Amino acid sequence: MLRWCLGQDAPRSVTAAGGKYAMKDNREIPDTLQVIWEWDGPTLMLFTHHDCNDSPVNAQGAEIELRGTKGTMYIHGARWEVVPQKITEMPYYARSPVNREQERPYRPSKKAVIEPQTVKGTESTVLHARNFLECIKSRGKCNADILTGHLSTSATLIGNIAHKTQSVLKWDARAERFTNNDGANRFLEYKYRAPYKLS
């Protein structure tokens, strides 16, 4: 992570495409999104998000939810669980809302293609809190200090800005600025309500 701070191993460009295709609500983040980061090398990293299987939205109140075509993974502080998606072998084009006989085998043919799984561990919040308290005593560096937190979220934040501006953005990791789009740079900081300010 520290190499990001030195301008090394940081993406040199980013672009994104997506939108609110499945959910019509007041969220600002798209329900369907694809982000591509380009590193020196050249190396590409691709992130794809889609909220379109039939699992209820965050049915378990998980901290992280990963959806796929075969199931959904719910990640909690002390455990994770995979809930299979039931998939039918009956092709979509074979369905007919007006032909009950043709429609009858659709639901019974839906089967899970992966096994459910649950793995329990130690509550991560407890481990972070213990590490923080130990660092207060020892004056040591926390496992997730503020620089690590800042650098680990940078790629995600600039991906969201690429989507918002609908552009390919060139990123200078040392200056933490976009070099080819001044308009995108305004999204790198918030405008605070008076009298609040960040100094």
pLDDT tens digits for range 130-170: 999 999 999 999 988 888 888 878 888 999 999 999 999 99
- Cis status of the peptide bond prior to 105, with omega within 30 of 0: no
Token duo for residue 156: 């995600």
Please state, in angstroms and rounded to a whole number, the distance separating the CA atoms of residues 42 and 21.
32
Burial per residue of 26-55, b for 16 or more beta-carbon CB atoms within 10 angstroms, e otherwise: eeeebbbbbbbbbeeeeeeeeeeebbeeeb
SS3 call for 187: helix
Please state, in angstroms and rounded to a whole number, the distance separating the CA atoms of residues 160 and 48.
12
DSSP state letter for 186: G
Q: Which pLDDT belongs to residue 67?
A: 80
Q: Which pLDDT belongs to residue 5?
A: 39
Please state, in angstroms and rounded to a whole number, the distance separating the CA atoms of residues 106 and 88.
7
User: What number is the average pLDDT over the span 71-87?
Assistant: 87
Q: Which pLDDT belongs to residue 6?
A: 38
Please state, in angstroms and rounded to a whole number, the distance separating the CA atoms of residues 195 and 17.
36
| HSE-up (13 A, CA, CB side) for residue 131 | 11
User: What number is the average pLDDT over the span 97-108?
Assistant: 69
Please state, in angstroms and rounded to a whole number, the distance separating the CA atoms of residues 180 and 147.
26
∠ Cα 175 176 179 (to 5°):
80
Instruction: Name the residue with higher pLDDT: 124 or 55.
Output: 55
pLDDT tens digits for range 164-193: 999 999 999 889 999 999 999 999 988 888
The answer to pTM > 0.75 is no
C-beta of residue 12 within 8 angstroms of C-beta of residue 25: no
**Percent of the chain having pLDDT more than 70?**
82
